[in-house]
Structure 1
Amino acid sequence: MKKIEIEPIVIMLCTAGRGGMRTVVESYKHDGLFEKWNIQLVHTHDEGSVLKRFNIFIQALVKFMYLILFKKVALIHNHSAMRGSFWRKNVFSTLARMRGIPVILHLHGSEMEKFYYSQVPWGKNKIISILNKADVVMVLSKSWEKFVLKIAPDATVKIVYNYVTPPKITLQKALQESKNDTVNILFLGLIGKRKGVYDLIDAVKKIKVVCDRRFKVLIGGNGEVEELQNLIVENDLQEQVVYLGWVSGEEKESYLRSCDIYILPSYNEGLPMSLLEAMSWGKPVISTRVGGIPELIRDNQDGMIVDAGNVEQISSSLMELIESKEKRRQFGQNSRERIEEKFSDKVVLPQIDALYQHTGNWRKK
């Protein structure tokens, strides 16, 4: 009887929790990477109680053990953030190495550098060891590559940018989507200090008293929602700021399509998916010079880059774009072209294909 060949699989490890990491993985699946490489997704974490998260971890561990023991696994693609995510994912990487399976450690954590320097010497040495042992450390920007090689010079580091698939809409139509007299400014992300949402509120307070144009700031996300809502009321900004709740799917697409300006004044980032998505819709963007953002946004071409925490710069940048429709149009056009040239599925997915092909163990056993 002819022996049936078992097709090798790739195991992808990721959280099921909301955020940029999950968005990246969902894009991989939507754009055919899962089907092309026979990827089996294992969720190692989710939002919820400690008990729920522990159960998910144990279930993931059991599933992972079954796959590496009884399936032909060519590669592990391990999506990792910092803190608990980093240590959890190392359990899976260690088990894979014991089976001789190559591991791509894909770093997403926006505060990875802060996480490393907060460790005691033993913790720092362990992080360095994990980075050095990975077959490939996949990072989101040149600044992250520089950091990883600074602490772990023996690591094999590859830069692969996050990407978006540009919407199937012409650039001209994308630029015409917003037709309201009110200038709509959109923020999507975790509500809290790290994403700069409180700095945005302070900037709105400044703009409110001097701006001649009508504007509205739309904030979508989860996190410190009650504190945000209290600040809106305490500063009498109900007319200028609207909290949308958690926004995803078609609702998110609708807001991105119709907004006039997208803002993300973060203190720490990797390469934010929300900025990529907004730029793909031809929107001018305002963000900070942290992480990979300066590699994405060309200041005063695609949008405006400010210093994290600088409310004066945030407010003046917002004012400039609110008052100039022509500047919004030109920056938006440049944004869309920037995505198509360097941060689209057509550019980035072939890089992942090449990395998989080079790193994976595709030899017949």
Structure 2
Amino acid sequence: MNCSTMSDRQSHILIATPLGKGGMGGIDRIMDEVRAIDERNPQKGVSLSFGVTRGQGSIVLSPLYLCMFLIRMLSLKAFGRVDVLHINLSSHGSARRKMIVARWASLLKIPYVIHLHGSRFRQFWNESPPSIAHGISRMFKDAARIVVLGNVWKSFVSGKVPGIEDKVVIIPNATPAPTLRPVPAEDGALRILFLGRVGARKGVPQLIEGLSMIAGRTGWRAIIAGDGEIEESRREIERLGLADRVSLPGWVGPADVAELLSRSDVLVLPSFDENLPMSVIEGMAASLAVIATPVGAVEDIITDGETGLLVPVGDAKAIAVALQRLLDEPELRGRLGQNARKLHAERLEIKAYFDRLVDLWTSLIRQ
């Protein structure tokens, strides 16, 4: 085969996603954006395809989805239509499924990329029995590249598996720029927004407690949006006398999220653990003042007092103090939002994210 034929050959990338198109998880949403960019502007010489490894709906069906994905890998390999496999990895069941996928890829001689996005992966790996821990280590060691979302995760995986540091690449999560313009509050109230799973891990009890501490202040209202422990949270809000100022709409889809972001001033995510949360990045893109906890890779994008405010994990009082500060200092609120929007445009925009992935895949194919 001559050189020109080799350079003109289409490169095929197979992307393993947990739930597939329309999935509610953060990585599924990002991969939906990757799919949409590729559909709008197909990359010359690169063909993307997507496969589901867990599936939406009952977990009982996940072995079926996994088997179908493994069969598809074999078929694509047989017909020369897979050059790189991109594996999106989280913890627990996801890790067990992806160990099987990675081992199958090795047997089929398909180079694969591990893309680590699970917020609880550190605890899962550290607490796994030896057989699982060894399987995870082997999966990372055999990977052609490892994508992590921030410096803390690069240090973690490099420390767990000596010798892989040169294969670890940091590509933070990303979102599109907002499509809706900000809508000012007609009454001038500070509009506080939480986006995420409603429950203890995301710090919602501490957020509600913090809101109760500023109940004596006028000029604010809050929306806590997401699925999870809705009724328990609603009862606590009613017990604290906040029902007229704090609403819980439940899970909201992408269009509603965009609308909420355009009609908010502050985003709060007081999580106990994260990898790199999508809601913080969405808030930054929308020029909101962000209050977050320094967990996962959050400190890679939130510098306290510059692109947001950081509060200690589990500290309701600190959340209240940060909210009071933003109530009292509208100029600070505006500056934090502007700086956050600037950082998003420079480092967290979805098209640049897409381009970095394509560069990563094609660099492996050229090796």
What TM-score do the two structures reach when normalised by structure 1?
0.91
How far apart are residue 9 of structure 1 and its match? 1.5
Partner letter of residue 123 of structure 1?
I
Q: Is the 8 A contact 1:29 1:35 kept in 2?
A: no
Q: Is the 8 A contact 2:178 2:258 kept in 1?
A: no
Secondary structure of 1:123's aligned partner? helix
Percent identity, aligned pairs only?
27
Secondary structure of 2:214's aligned partner? helix
Give the whole-Å Cα distance in 2 for the aligned partners of 1:351 and 1:177: 35
How far apart are residue 342 of structure 1 and its match? 1.6
- Other-structure match for 2:121: 112
How far apart are residue 28 of structure 1 and its match? 1.0
- Other-structure match for 2:11: 8
Give the whole-Å Cα distance in 2 for the aligned partners of 1:46 and 1:84: 12
How far apart are residue 76 of structure 1 and its match? 0.4
How far apart are residue 103 of structure 1 and its match? 0.3
Alpha carbons of 1:214 and 1:292: their partners in 2 closer, same or farther (altered >3 Å)? same
Which of 36, 42, 56 is the equivalent residue of 1:30?
Answer: 36
Where does structure 2 lack aligned partners over 5 or more consecutive residues? none
Instruction: Compute the RMSD of aligned alpha carbons.
Output: 2.1
Q: Is the 8 A contact 2:99 2:135 kept in 1?
A: no
Which of 288, 296, 299 is the equivalent residue of 2:301?
Answer: 296
1:48 lines up with 2:88 in the alignment:
no
- Other-structure match for 2:93: 84
Which of 254, 257, 274 is the equivalent residue of 2:259?
Answer: 254
How far apart are residue 135 of structure 1 and its match? 0.9
Partner letter of residue 158 of structure 2?
L
How far apart are residue 168 of structure 1 and its match? 5.1
1:166 lines up with 2:177 in the alignment:
yes
How far apart are residue 51 of structure 1 and its match? 2.5
Q: Is the 8 A contact 2:70 2:104 kept in 1?
A: no
- Other-structure match for 2:24: 18
Give the whole-Å Cα distance in 1 for the aligned partners of 2:135 and 2:110: 20
Partner letter of residue 344 of structure 2?
I
Alpha carbons of 1:179 and 1:297: their partners in 2 closer, same or farther (altered >3 Å)? farther
Partner letter of residue 66 of structure 2?
F
Structure 1 segment 1-365 matched on structure 2, within 5 A: 7-16=10-19, 17-32=23-38, 35-36=42-43, 37-155=46-164, 156-167=167-178, 174=182, 177-209=184-216, 211=217, 213-360=218-365
Q: Is the 8 A contact 2:91 2:121 kept in 1?
A: yes
Paired residues in the alignment total 353
Q: Is the 8 A contact 1:68 1:96 kept in 2?
A: no
Q: Is the 8 A contact 1:286 1:306 kept in 2?
A: yes
Where does structure 1 lack aligned partners over 5 or more consecutive residues? none
Alpha carbons of 1:157 and 1:6: their partners in 2 closer, same or farther (altered >3 Å)? closer
How far apart are residue 6 of structure 1 and its match? 7.2
Secondary structure of 1:238's aligned partner? coil
Alpha carbons of 1:144 and 1:256: their partners in 2 closer, same or farther (altered >3 Å)? same
Q: Is the 8 A contact 1:222 1:246 kept in 2?
A: yes
Q: Is the 8 A contact 1:23 1:273 kept in 2?
A: no
